[in-house]
Amino acid sequence: MILPSRFNGPKDSANGGYTCGCLSHLLSSQCVEVTLRVPPPLDNELDLKSTKESTELLDGETLVAQAKPGELDLELPEIPNWDQVVEASTHYSGHQDHPFPTCFVCGPERAPEDGLNIFAGPVEGTDIVAAPWIPHPSLGDEDGLVKEEFLWCALDCPGAFAVDQKMQTPMVLGRLTAQVFSRPKTGEKIRVIGWPLGTERRKSFAGTALVDSQGKVCAAGRAVWISLKP
């Protein structure tokens, strides 16, 4: 497996959600849990090792990530409407200060046709962050449906801004457990939401979900975020 440089998170490593999404294809389970052990390297030929229980992504002898069947125990909050998520996105703190400004998912320095431009900001009166997302045609398959790995991407970064809306302490994805229920079409109006689920030392927990134009939850995830040491 090669993780192309287009799909970076931090400048020199792959986006965690993209890495998790690519590995999720290799398991037959509907819900998959992926744990990232080290920053996934870009543009390198990485080895895959599969057993009955899991699939491992290896850089030589270094374990990069491990995927296995998961269980998603997640209670969703009240879903804001389209106007609310558009308004919330205008308050995205990453426009002023972003630890990873070229991130494929949430980096403000990425052009709309090159990145996802998911800018999750606070929904007034709630602890939810939200953003609108209209997937670019380049993210779709031959049927015009958004590829599954990009849905995993969209479930990634909003969780970080849910636990730290101003991103005062940079953090990276440690684990993402997610399930895709249906794949929306490119060009469709998607509501992306994230909400905090607690903190334990350097670990923070968040839920994320994608809601299609019909009001149906098409994907959801639960993430563990690791705050970087100063």
Given this model, what pLDDT does residue 130 score?
A: 98
Question: 114 in helix, strand or coil?
Answer: coil
pLDDT tens across 53-83, in order?
899 999 999 999 999 999 999 999 999 999 9
Q: What tokens appear for 171 in the block?
A: 């953090």
C-alpha 118/C-alpha 156 separation (Å) is 10
Domains observed in the chain: 5-69 (no CATH), 82-227 (3.10.129.10)
Which residue has tokens 């269980």?
71
C-alpha 14/C-alpha 5 separation (Å) is 7
Given this model, what pLDDT does residue 51 score?
A: 84
Residues 76-98 have a mean pLDDT of 95
Which residue has tokens 């779709």?
140
Ranking 17-26, 31-40, 47-56, 144-153 by mean pLDDT, the lowest is 47-56
Neighbours of 131 (CB within 10 A): 26
- Which segments of the chain are extended strands (E)? 31-36, 47-50, 55-59, 62-69, 121-122, 129-133, 171-180, 190-200, 203-211, 217-227
Q: Are 178 and 72 in contact (CB under 8 A)?
A: yes
pTM of the model: 0.96
C-alpha 49/C-alpha 78 separation (Å) is 40
C-alpha 161/C-alpha 155 separation (Å) is 12
Task: Kindly calculate the radius of gyration of the chain based on its CA atoms and give it in whole angstroms.
Answer: 16
pLDDT tens across 100-114, in order?
999 999 999 999 999
Residue 167 has pLDDT above 80, yes or no: no
Q: Are 64 and 46 in contact (CB under 8 A)?
A: yes
With cut-offs at 50, 70 and 90, classify the pLDDT of residue 13: very high
